[in-house]
Structure 1
Amino acid sequence: MQSPIPNGTSLQNRYRLRQILGQGGFGRTYLAEDRGRFDELCAIKEFIPGQTNPAFGQKARELFQREAAILYQIDHPQIPKFRAHFEQEGRLFLVQDYVAGKTYRNLLHERKAKGETFSEAEIRHLMEKLLPVLDAIHHRGIIHRDVSPENIISSDASVPAITSNGVGTSRPDMLGDPVLIDFGVGKELAAQTARDNAITAASLGKIGYAPAEQIQSGRAYPSSDLYALAVTTIVLLTGVEPQQLFDDTLLTWQWEKFLIQDLSPELTNILNRMLQLRPGDRYQTAKEVIAALATIPSPLRNAQPPGGDGETGSVGSVGSNLPPLPVTPSPRLPVTPSPR
């Protein structure tokens, strides 16, 4: 792999590199200032094919041009806007909007340091916000190929999570809309050239997150992204990595025994279907998952009283003087009946 470009370097006499944001097997991402837009920050993704033979390099350029054209057509507030692409000194670059915030990987690290993980309400928030994004790209024939906690940013992650008396679950609305980054251009290239080159499994998909069809053959479908999203959610729920959640002997997911808080059977069933090993046994579209999530009863706002046990998925305002909602009392959270 080529060496990183030093900070302060100017690309195209326009983009001044400030620092490396991340690096993977097929490239690295830089934070840069765009002098053509009053030094506005942007993200520059360097695409590194990984092989040096001319035929492979030409294939890489063709795929790079194709992916740039596809990204240019995507206009979604939860996908960084494509700005430009260029080649300089044999290196290929994509320029996109910079998204301020924290990745879900970073957020999980922070939670685990406090002995916490993500709540069901937060996972539903993530899925309900991200599934329409996947649906939009899938309708354009685009497969992300690399959905994982590292590639999802909470666009408002600077807002601290709120808990009930320090032990309750966080309000999902305190997390910003998830932004999907780092489309798997390199993994698509690996899949396109797998028949003619010695390609490692890690080149075709992120181990533990990518499904078997992607790792073994490079094929990927909309349900492949749904599988990766489900793996992402169970990692966020348990704080445990996929390799520990999957039993290689039984070829089954054993994630439920690692949960540290209750999870509704409805969401459990949805995730287990998304995690099926055979693509045909999963949900086939993001819309199907959205419809399934809509059937899960939503937790009641303000149902957790001050000083409660913190079991509700979302926490409402404390000290509200509003009368109780006329709902059927929960066995755990008795509600005073409304006057008749």
Structure 2
Amino acid sequence: MTLQLLNNRYHVIRTLGSGGFSETFLAEDTQMPSSRLCVIKQLKPANNNPELYQLVQERFAREAAILEKLGEANSQIPKLYAYLSEGGQFYLVQEWIEGDTLTQLVQKQGKLSESTVKEILISILPVLDYVHGQQIVHRDIKPDNIIIRSSDRVPVLIDFGAVREAMGTTLSSQGNYTSSIVIGTPGFMPSEQAAGRPLYSSDLYSLGLTAIYLLTGKIPQDLTSDPQTGEVIWQQYAPQISDSFAAVLNKAVMSHPKERYYTADEMLAALQGSPRSSQKTISYQQQQQKFSPSPSPSPSPQKSNKGLISSLIIGGFVGVVVVVAFALFSDEFFPPNVPDSPDNPTPSQPQNPSPVAKPSSQTALINYYEAINNQQYREAWDLRTPESQNDAEQHPEGYKSFTDWWTQVRRVDILDLDVVGESGDFATVDSELRYLLNSGKTINQSLRFNFIWDNQREEWLLDDVERL
């Protein structure tokens, strides 16, 4: 669509960028004496269902009101000038920030010094602390979304994800309204965010990887993982960085949220070398309660979840399809001359009943392979039981064998997903899968996944897989 004049007021000068559900323009306000420049973000609903239009419109208005509040209260967030709908599309009109994004800065100047990156972090972390204090997660922090403003050289945080998520409003097979879009950028977003459960620390993870990019010139996809721990390896690309600064960044980008900083204030304190009051610390469980989407009514154990899977695949998970490639990994799970598991295997390490309300085991399966799809192999490895990890038949070289396999898989689609049963600390999920190797070969397979509940970590761990 070519946009020239919006609302008989905003004259488009040029296109700034475009994505799956949005397009951004630079425009001038013809009704202001200064003809001030502004940014127009055109948002396109993911679903053309007329019945959903009013709901999308309501959510859009609500999220726009939040943007207005943020921009008015903090000078490092662009102001919202207007929001409107026209021709079935939704538009935000925001303040134009003159300056370079962090990506452009690195392209022009090369890798940044430790002192410069620290200065950027120390300036942007209070902004995040304010945003999180409003119970909002940005969800798309990356070098492209932080601009160094030309007028004062202060970093400005742009492109909040909540409004874009509203465009993905859809109706599930159970009749519940939900969003088919998960906001974020592969590589910069952690696995819990990719699964639709962003936390405060998800933004800190993204900010940590942004800082690593500034120091190394390497995007996350260009970095490797430690074969023993699975954590990001980056310091060889910035050997001059002090141990104390590296420790702050390493904690921010830990794969498991419990091991990261819980708040922006805590990370800021670590950077500045001063402890913060524990009264402001927010636990991982509290973060989950704040930012986990309201649960939809759970389907019965025997009910197929085709609606859910269709939503995930159609929604795109930010262009990354949820993947499963178990069947091709036959050497890992089904070694030669080893008989298949019985129909009802007994998990190797039963746990005592957990007092914590358990999420669905189907979510655990989606999270596991979403991490693999994002090449976050350590996160996936950590979602397996220790017994599975230490099985010499499956993983003769431990984590290395695991990654050696998964780097050969391009994509796996979940075609169907059934929770066969969840009882106490055990769960079984059946799935129909289609996976594609880098070689181009495609194979379909039906598999049964057995999970064990980990009381300490409060999550399901993959223990065993068998063919159906």
Superposed CA deviations along residues 209-252 of structure 1, whole A, max 9, x for unmatched, are 01100112x11111111110001010111111101224396632
Partner of 1:244: 222
Query: Among residues 236, 247, 251, which one is paired with 1:257 in the alignment?
Result: 236
Range that drifts further, 92-101 or 248-257: 248-257
Distance (whole Å) between structure 2 residues aligned to residue 64 and residue 87 of structure 1:
10
Contact 1:22 1:29 in 2 (8 A): yes
Contact 2:78 2:97 in 1 (8 A): yes
1:193-272 map, 5 Å: 199=180, 203-216=182-195, 218-247=196-225, 251-259=230-238, 261-272=239-250
Distance (whole Å) between structure 2 residues aligned to residue 238 and residue 50 of structure 1:
36
Q: Report the CA distance between 1:204 and its aligned residue.
A: 3.2
Contact 1:187 1:205 in 2 (8 A): no
Range that drifts further, 21-30 or 185-194: 185-194
Structure 1 unpaired stretches of 5+:
158-174, 297-340
Q: Report the CA distance between 1:52 and its aligned residue.
A: 2.1
Distance (whole Å) between structure 1 residues aligned to residue 189 and residue 235 of structure 2:
20
Partner letter of residue 208 of structure 1?
G
Partner of 1:311: none
Q: Structure 1 length normalisation: TM-score? A: 0.72
Contact 2:166 2:179 in 1 (8 A): no
Bigger CA radius of gyration: 2
Partner of 2:91: 93
Q: Report the CA distance between 1:11 and its aligned residue.
A: 1.0
Partner of 2:384: none
Range that drifts further, 271-280 or 178-187: 178-187
Contact 1:80 1:97 in 2 (8 A): yes
Quote the sequence identity (%): 39
Distance (whole Å) between structure 2 residues aligned to residue 78 and residue 289 of structure 1:
19
Q: Report the CA distance between 1:286 and its aligned residue.
A: 0.7
Partner of 1:69: 65
Q: Report the CA distance between 1:48 and its aligned residue.
A: 1.7
Structure 2 unpaired stretches of 5+:
275-468
- RMSD over aligned Cα, in angstroms? 2.4
Q: Relative contact order (C-alpha < 8 Å, sep 6+): which is higher? A: 1
Distance (whole Å) between structure 1 residues aligned to residue 183 and residue 67 of structure 2:
20
Name the SS for the 1:37 alignment partner: coil
Q: Report the CA distance between 1:50 and its aligned residue.
A: 2.7
1:182-201 map, 5 Å: 182-185=159-162, 188-189=165-166, 199=180
Partner of 2:111: 117
Distance 1:37 1:30, change over 3 A: same
Distance (whole Å) between structure 1 residues aligned to residue 169 and residue 7 of structure 2:
29
Range that drifts further, 241-250 or 178-187: 241-250
Distance 1:34 1:241, change over 3 A: same
Q: Report the CA distance between 1:279 and its aligned residue.
A: 1.3
Q: Structure 2 length normalisation: TM-score? A: 0.53
- Structure 1 or 2: larger strand share? 2
Distance 1:51 1:246, change over 3 A: farther
Partner letter of residue 88 of structure 2?
G
Contact 2:27 2:37 in 1 (8 A): yes
1:143 and 2:143 matched:
no
Name the SS for the 1:143 alignment partner: coil
Q: Report the CA distance between 1:63 and its aligned residue.
A: 2.2
Query: Among residues 25, 40, 44, which one is paired with 2:40 in the alignment?
Result: 44
